[in-house]
Amino acid sequence: MDPVSRRHMLAATATGALLTAGGPRALGADGPTSDPGPQNRALGAQNPSAFLPPPTDHGDMPTFKYPYNLEHTRHTDGGWARQVTVKDFPIARSIAGVDMRLIAGAVRELHWHLPAEWAYMTYGRARITAIDPQGRRFAADVAEGDLWFFPSGYPHSIQGLGPDGCEFLLAFDDGKFSEDSTLLITDWIAHTPMDVLTQSLGVGAELFAHAPKRELYIFPAPLPPELSRDLAHSAQDFVPEPFSYALHAQRPNFAGPGGTVRIVDSSNFKASSTIAAALVELNPGALRVLHWHPNADEWQYYLGGTGRMTVFAGESKARTADFSAGDVGYVERSSGHYIQNTGSDPLRFLEIFASDHYAEVTLADWMANTPPELVAAHLGIDPRLLETIVRPPTPVMPR
Ligand code: MN
Ligand code: MN
């Protein structure tokens, strides 16, 4: 840096000019914002707000970002799975998440578990099956952008379809839940006395002659027949409310120049009794406006693009983090936050809540629907200025 621009930078620092911009601070070649020591530049480039947070950030807050790319992946002959739970991401107490890949034909074994399972298809196609406690059955084919929900304890399976199987995100309504601790049909059979198995099903021992001695978990299998044939194998009734839902086919709850929001909870996806969610798409520069959720913590999964989120936790505490595809974000119940698209592509993410319904309170709604003199007294302004707040308040604002 030449002496003139160096002097300029030092002067700017001295007058606090670096700290007044609303956006991120500039990385200095020298001076107080330089970083001459060792560093991981690739990681630093993905996390600019960690080293140079907005000057409004303050205080000590736990991390609320965890990338799936840091997780151990469990590989099998039919695909793989990796999970983010409280073990690695301690703030995320209400939801545990799994990212799973099944090649064509591969099966996530018939199983059940204590928490409910909500899923979003991120790639390809899958066949899912389940039954309810009345013995009523369910089977459906799902594709990218579709959801499913299996209530706590309901047995189910997932199978990759052609041409290239599938990948999907699972969200369980318990942050402690481990995908490795599900109850599997092969594991149960392997740990039940043969005379009990045969008596319980009214069959001969030959039915279990080739049963595996250990769990299969994820295993290769032939592609299933057409769905119509899979549905015709039994005369038993179907479940009254389907366990799958075409979220992308849903008309957005909000659509504007800044992007779209689709909300899905038990009011429109009836089976989803303990998980609510929103799929948000923000255009470049657009903002998911300042808000909080009064009913539940928010577990986020980033599907594409890049953005940043600041979480405000009271007591002057605020922290900003950057997110891109494959990252998990977390906001504790009632903490204020916004999400801003900082890239040149659309920013797409899921907000997931362990609740039967979606709820949020926005700063704009609050300020627009409180007596103006009262609000103006807080801000030291003319109450008429409050009439400039956008009405009706929207969940997304364009650049
Ligand atoms: Mn499951
Ligand atoms: Mn939110």
Considering every ligand atom, which ligand is closest to the CA of 115?
1
pLDDT tens-digit profile, the chain (399 residues): 343 344 344 333 433 334 444 455 566 778 889 999 999 999 999 999 999 999 999 999 999 999 999 999 999 999 999 999 999 999 999 999 999 999 999 999 999 999 999 999 999 999 999 999 999 999 999 999 999 999 999 999 999 999 999 999 999 999 999 999 999 999 999 999 999 999 999 999 999 999 999 999 999 999 999 999 999 988 999 999 999 999 999 999 999 999 999 999 999 999 999 999 999 999 999 999 999 999 999 999 999 999 999 999 999 999 999 999 999 999 999 999 999 999 999 999 999 999 999 999 999 999 999 999 999 999 999 999 999 998 888 999 999
Cα of 54 vs centre of ligand 2, distance in Å, is 20
| Conformation bin of residue 114: beta by default, left when phi > 0, alpha when psi is -120 to 50 | alpha
Identify residues whose C-beta is under 5 A from ligand 1, the ion.
117
pLDDT at 127: 98
Cα of 45 vs centre of ligand 1, distance in Å, is 36
Cβ count within 10 A of residue 162: 10
Considering every ligand atom, which ligand is closest to the CA of 331?
2
Cα of 198 vs centre of ligand 1, distance in Å, is 26
376 is written with which tokens? 């103006």
Considering every ligand atom, which ligand is closest to the CA of 334?
2
CB 186 within 8 A of CB 180: no
CA gyration radius, the chain: 25
Distance separating alpha carbons of residues 323 and 54, to the nearest angstrom: 15
| Conformation bin of residue 79: beta by default, left when phi > 0, alpha when psi is -120 to 50 | left
Cα of 246 vs centre of ligand 2, distance in Å, is 22
pTM as predicted? 0.92
The vertex-380 CA angle with 374 and 386, nearest 5°, equals 60
Cα of 112 vs centre of ligand 1, distance in Å, is 6
- The secondary structure of residue 97, as a DSSP letter, is E
What residues act catalytically? 351
CB 151 within 8 A of CB 114: no
Cα of 55 vs centre of ligand 1, distance in Å, is 43
Instruction: Let me know if 181 is exposed, middle or buried by CB neighbors in 10 A (0-12, 13-18, 19+).
Output: exposed
Considering every ligand atom, which ligand is closest to the CA of 296?
2
210 is written with which tokens? 């080739």
Q: Which residue has the tokens 């909300």?
A: 263
Considering every ligand atom, which ligand is closest to the CA of 158?
1
Cα of 397 vs centre of ligand 1, distance in Å, is 37
Share of the chain residues as helix, strand and coil, in percent rounded to the nearest 5: 20, 35, 45
Residues 6+ apart with CB under 8 A from 180: 74
Of 105, 101, 85, nearest to 180 by C-alpha is 85
Instruction: Let me know if 131 is exposed, middle or buried by CB neighbors in 10 A (0-12, 13-18, 19+).
Output: middle
65 is written with which tokens? 């970002």
Instruction: Let me know if 236 is exposed, middle or buried by CB neighbors in 10 A (0-12, 13-18, 19+).
Output: exposed
Cα of 385 vs centre of ligand 2, distance in Å, is 27
